[in-house]
Amino acid sequence: MAFSTGGGGGAMGEINVTPMIDILLVLLIIFMVIVPTVPHGLDALVPQPPKTPQKQEPNDRTIVVQVIYNAGAAPQYKINETSVQKSELLPKLTDIYANRAERVMFVKGDDNLDFRYVAEVIDIGRSANVDHIGLMTPKILAGQ
């Protein structure tokens, strides 16, 4: 009951905990039923490497376009150490990136070179559908 009759002090009220225990048990049962039906993550298969290792083709190499400074003349251009005229850059880069999944190119310019020549190479790379173009800078030694 809610009241207890004790000694001489009169009636004293106590909290009835039975309904709270009933509510706790009902909530426990509800959570036990809900938890197994929670959806799990997506079951995915990880791609496996090929059984026969293939030789890496030269098409998978990183492409570096160099812009080389010429004093008093137009700069020279190279694609991975192969000299190329500026007018040939777009067709060659388009051919290189035609069948590539990863379209990354690096541009390396000389220190004395005006940046507009590097910017032109970046624009040519964008025209050849290159997704990511990075700029290469010289390493700076810690002692200098």
- Distance separating alpha carbons of residues 122 and 105, to the nearest angstrom: 9
Express each pLDDT in 56-96 by its tens digit: 555 557 889 999 888 888 889 999 888 899 899 999 999 98
Whether 20 is in a domain gets the answer: no
pLDDT confidence of residue 101 = 82
Whether 121 is in a domain gets the answer: yes
- Distance separating alpha carbons of residues 95 and 127, to the nearest angstrom: 12
Helices (H) and strands (E) in the chain, counts: 3, 7
pLDDT at 4 over 60: no
Whether 66 is in a domain gets the answer: yes
Whether 102 is in a domain gets the answer: yes
pLDDT confidence of residue 22 = 94
The lowest-confidence range among 19-23, 109-113, 124-128, 140-144 is 140-144
Alpha-carbon distances, residue 61 vs 79, 89, 91, 101 (angstroms): 11, 17, 18, 12
In the chain, the N- to C-terminal Cα span, in Å, equals 89
**Domain with 112 in it:** 59-136
* CATH number of residue 83's parent domain: 3.30.420.270
The residue count of the chain comes to 144
pTM metric for this prediction? 0.55
pLDDT confidence of residue 27 = 94
Express each pLDDT in 14-63 by its tens digit: 888 898 999 999 999 998 888 776 666 666 677 777 777 655 555 557 88
Whether 38 is in a domain gets the answer: no
pLDDT confidence of residue 9 = 61
Q: Which tops the pLDDT comparison, 111 or 27?
A: 27
Whether 82 is in a domain gets the answer: yes
CA angle 137/107/84 to nearest 5° reads 130
Q: How confident is the model over 97-122, as a mean pLDDT? A: 87
pLDDT at 122 over 60: yes
pLDDT confidence of residue 11 = 72
Domain count of the fold of the chain: 1
Whether 101 is in a domain gets the answer: yes
Whether 81 is in a domain gets the answer: yes
